[in-house]
Homo-oligomer: A and B are copies of this chain.
Amino acid sequence: MLLTGLEFVGLVAFAASGALAAVRARLDVFGVVVVGLTTALGGGVIRDVLLGIHPPTTLRNWLYLAVCAGTALLVFVFHPQVARLRRGVLLADALGLGVFATAGTTIALNAGATVYAACLIGMTTGIGGGAVRDLLLREIPLVLRKEIYAVAALAGSVLVAVGHTVRLPEGPVTVVAAAVVVTVRMLALWRRWNAPVARGPD
């Protein structure tokens, strides 16, 4: 129940981030909705394809689609106000990253994946939607460019996997792990943690 609530927060956050990027790329209203849907549902579809869950869960429940499409439409109409809420969007994106990475790990473990595979698949669930969004809009994906993005997702996945291994209760562990992802990600943004870049090709 708690997890389902968090999941919808993640869907709304990712749908809004995709729609906002599409508005900035001057797409029309259909393009904005398609990019919003792809960003929000993409990570889950990749997760289910890797786990062999057919057809993907997110394509089976119309409520997912309705929430994401509604969010994208709202962003289309109110995008100047949304863009002003830049910090809110970044926080929501971090929340989505945390929720999808940790919930993805739990789903992979329950589907019988090894601890190691579950961590990789969980991380991929978190970063997948944003990567698809950036590919569609011809950007180099954020996850390749920005401070502590994949690493934050991986940290959350590992926490869930450790909790699963020592048989802690699933719900609280996921919430704590998602909170860790959000905290690490927001700290990285706030303190402008940057990973080193190689010396110029010479």
Residues of A bordering B, CB below 8 Å: 22-32, 34-35, 45, 49-52, 54-56, 59-62, 65, 76-77, 79-80, 83, 108, 113-114, 116-117, 120-121, 131, 135-141, 143-145, 147-151, 194-199, 201-202
Contact = CB atoms under 8 A, between A and B. Distances in A.
A187 to B, nearest CB: 16
A51 B55 CA distance: 5
Nearest to A144: B31
Contact of A201 (B32, B83, B151): B83
A63 to B, nearest CB: 10
B60 A117 contact: yes
Nearest to A194: B28
A198 B55 contact: no
B34 A144 contact: yes
Nearest to A60: B117
A112 to B, nearest CB: 9
Contact of A54 (B51, B77, B120, B196): B51
How many identical subunits does the complex contain?
Answer: 3
The SS class assigned to the A binding surface is helix
A144 B34 CA distance: 7
Contacts of A50: 45, 49, 54-56, 59
A62 B195 contact: no
Closest 7 CB pairs of A and B: A52-B54, A31-B144, A28-B195, A59-B117, A23-B198, A55-B117, A29-B195
A80 B202 contact: yes
A150 B65 contact: no
A32 B198 contact: yes
